[in-house]
Amino acid sequence: MRAVVQRVRSCSVSVQGRQTGAIEQGLLVYLGVGRTDEERDARYICDKILGLRIFTDPAGKMNLSVRDVGGGVLVVSQFTLYGDAREGRRPSYTEAADPQKARQLYEQACRLLQESGVPTATGEFQASMEVSYTNMGPVTILLDSGKKF
């Protein structure tokens, strides 16, 4: 499972002009599911997301998590995180999970985040979405449950 995590002042996601999710300060998470991912990958990614110390403390150091600052998480499914463009110009998505498996693990990750007590909002799985956000920093972190980076 892969995630692009951005520290945001606020963010929202809309589908066909209808807002499906929004948060104020917190994390915007683009989440992709790989074909070999399992429940443990969702747990790993969620634990990392919740524990990332990327918010500034009173001394100005990035030392606080989204929980510490009372922030929220907006999760947007994004299979293109598994796009492989090393050859040619058109990315291959063979490493992305099929839609049924991806939906199951995406929804599980969202549940895990919600169960943690952190306010969690979502996009709409398999929809064309418009995401608006104000990145703070900017701060962007890449996560991979297979620890490939």
Q: Could you report the per-residue pLDDT of 79-114, keeping only the tens digit for each?
A: 999 999 999 999 999 999 999 999 999 999 999 999
For the chain, give the percent of residues with pLDDT over 70: 100
Give the global pTM. 0.96
Cis before 58 (ω within 30): no
**79: three-class secondary structure by DSSP:** helix
- Spatial separation of the C-alpha atoms in residues 33 and 106, rounded to whole Å: 7
Active site residue 80: yes
HSE at residue 32, side-chain half, CA atoms within 13 A, is 20
- Which candidate in 80, 126, 134, 140 is catalytic? 80
| Continuous segment of H or E residues that includes residue 107 | helix 99-115
pLDDT band, very low/low/confident/very high, at 15 (cuts 50, 70, 90): very high
Active site residue 78: yes
- Which candidate in 6, 78, 120, 122 is catalytic? 78
Active site residue 25: no
Q: Which two tokens stand for residue 74?
A: 């907006």
pLDDT band, very low/low/confident/very high, at 137 (cuts 50, 70, 90): very high
- How far lies 135's CA from each of 49, 120, 129, 132, in Å? 16, 18, 18, 10
pLDDT band, very low/low/confident/very high, at 149 (cuts 50, 70, 90): confident
Query: Residue 41 in contact with residue 109, Cβ under 8 Å?
Result: no
Delineate the domains of the chain, giving CATH numbers in brackets: 2-144 (3.50.80.10)
What phi, psi does 80 have (nearest 5°)?
A: -65, -10
* Whether the predicted pLDDT of 46 surpasses 90: yes
Q: Could you report the per-residue pLDDT of 58-76, keeping only the tens digit for each?
A: 999 999 999 999 999 999 9
* Whether the predicted pLDDT of 28 surpasses 90: yes
Mean pLDDT of 36-58: 98
- Spatial separation of the C-alpha atoms in residues 143 and 85, rounded to whole Å: 19
Q: Report the pLDDT value the prediction gives residue 54, as an integer from 0 to 100.
A: 98
